[in-house]
Structure 1
């Protein structure tokens, strides 16, 4: 299916570099314009989030006018899109106490009737977001270290087993940078904000990425043991291993992605950013396990990476 695909590895590196580079440019632009790598939600900045739905049509300026009249300057207002979300709005403000929230509800009801049960108020401390972020960052780092040592142990009979683990971890961070860039781009285009669900998506993508890469590397390990009794280059062995596993990888990942795509198209607006991150992350993970981790391993084995090709491990 992929004859001698590793010979084109420099093109895969270029493609990955372009995708990640675009994401980095978006993050740099976001830092310059907003002071944040990507737009952060209430979960990280702290404040109050209102979600409301009117029975009648109202405009963003009318909703903004209600909040400004209540003494809340510069509210961030987003129209919610999706099934059964006509005239629904999400408003993010600085901290608002219970009395002010009740006054806002009365003013909004005076503007237009609210759909019963649709006025919700969420208040979050920025300390919560920082704590969750630290926990997620620690989870990613620890998982990368654990997988590195696990692969070194599981592949101990293969020469240079450290390289397999390192390439798997590098591919995982490749996918994380892709979704970070995607979050920054969507923040610029659609005003999406990063919340606690985004961190859930990051951890999920990291897990899928490592799993898919390990499957491919395991087949390379199996074929490496057979190679000792037969002739053939390492590149040919890798090509054969990828062709033996690619159908399974694509079927597994595409099945999950079709489900995510259905949710993305027909699901509620509040969950769409999370589903989109998962979708892009799984797409990137499917790509990186074959077109990033494997070619990187080949380049390392052939000494094509000057800075790290000197690393030798048994």
Structure 2
């Protein structure tokens, strides 16, 4: 079977990744992300509303009904058919106050979900999140370096993992700016899952490179790396495609909370499938080129 020369397109891969990272980092710096109450503390009230005569249900009328009762809200967004998510500062009895205020304006106002988290707990969760991501990155670096007998494999795998996490974070920064998507505890779960998937895919390619190094010790590294990418590409695409199809359906049919969780997984799965052969391997190839130049000089 004729092999595709993937390695010759390394500048293209780096250009695509560079553009995606530039957009994402710009969004993160300028707009940042929208933290949910999981991290900043506060109250979330989900209500089911039905319009009354002469009073349609939309963000403006909901906000006006709450303002009439001097209820301060941080955000109001749709959460499905006739359902709205209202976020506010943590105030005792906020769910009852919201229901009472909306019941005066609409024919139906029923609280279907209520969550409240203190700012101290939110800060603690944020600290643990950063600690968990840092610890997992260090663990992956050490494991890959040990398994493949060289620090370059571990460093390149972690760089590809950072690439994936920045793309997902940048994507959610844009979604937060234009669609109100928020970063919550489920997003952290999705991000850690994405990182493990990315590293798993990268290890599959690296393992094939190691195997081919034993089979063809005289072959130069670049064609050998290209051979390894060709040999694992079909498996990687087939494996990822089944996950992507499931996540597309879940994103489409899921509720607000599940939708953003599955969307984070979807973005991460696509990015991870791309980064393993087109970021992790090219980084390894470039590393070997630089080492080769140093040896010659």
Asked if TM exceeds 0.5, the reply is: yes
Is structure 2 residue 225 aligned with structure 1 residue 238? yes
Change in Cα spacing, 1:23 to 1:260, as seen in structure 2 (3 Å) is same
Q: Which of 106, 114, 118 is the matching residue for 1:112?
A: 106
Corresponding residue of 1:10: 11
Give the corresponding residue for 1:49. Answer: 44
Indicate the residue corresponding to 2:27 in structure 1.
Answer: 26
Instruction: Please give the alpha-carbon distance, in whole angstroms, between the structure 2 residues aligned to 1:63 and 1:302.
Output: 61
Query: Take 1:198 and 1:62, find their aligned partners in 2: how far apart are those partners?
Result: 30
Q: Which 5+ residue runs of structure 2 have no aligned equivalent?
A: none
Deviation at 1:219, TM superposition (A): 0.4
Aligned length: 290
Q: The residue matched to 1:54 in structure 2 has which SS?
A: strand
* Equivalent position SS for 2:47: strand
Relative to structure 2, which stretch is displaced further, 57-66 or 175-184? 57-66
Counterpart residue number, 1:33: none
- Equivalent in the alignment of 1:90: 85
Could you tell me how far apart the structure 2 residues matched to 1:93 and 1:178 are? Answer: 29
2:162 aligned partner = 173
Distance 1:126 1:259 in 2: 35
* Structure-2 residue corresponding to 1:148: 141
* Equivalent in 127, 150, 175 of residue 134 of structure 1: 127
In 2, Cα distance between the equivalents of 1:304 and 1:64? 62
CA deviation vs aligned residue, 1:270-292 (integer Å, no higher than 9, x gap): 32111111100010000010100
Of 253-262 and 71-80, more deviation after overlay is shown by: 71-80
Which residue of the other structure, out of 266, 289, 303, is the alignment partner of 2:290? 303
Instruction: Provide closer, same or farther for how the CA distance between residues 225 and 265 of structure 1 changes in structure 2, counting only shifts above 3 A.
Output: same
CA distance in 1 between counterparts of 2:254 and 2:103 reads 28
Residue in 1 aligned with 2:183? 194
Q: Given that residues 38 and 125 in structure 2 are in contact (C-alpha distance below 8 angstroms), is that contact kept between their aligned partners in structure 1?
A: no
Distance 1:103 1:173 in 2: 44
CA distance in 2, matches of 1:235, 1:75: 54
SS of the aligned residue for 1:204 comes to helix
Q: Is the 8 A contact 1:78 1:89 kept in 2?
A: yes
Q: Which runs of 5+ in 1 are unaligned?
A: 31-36
Contact 2:152/2:284, CA 8 A, preserved across alignment: yes
Distance 1:67 1:60, change over 3 A: same
What TM-score comes out, normalization by structure 1 length?
A: 0.86
- 1:237-268 superposed Cα distances (whole Å, 9 cap, x missing partner): 01111111111111111111110001111121
Report the Cα offset of residue 125 of structure 1.
1.5
Q: Which moved more, 1:10-19 or 1:57-66?
A: 57-66
SS across alignment from 1:303: helix
In 2: Cα distance, 1:289 partner to 1:133 partner: 28
Q: Distance in 2 between matches of 1:291 and 1:216?
A: 11
Deviation at 1:46, TM superposition (A): 1.3
On the 8 A contact 2:71/2:98 being kept in 1, the answer is no
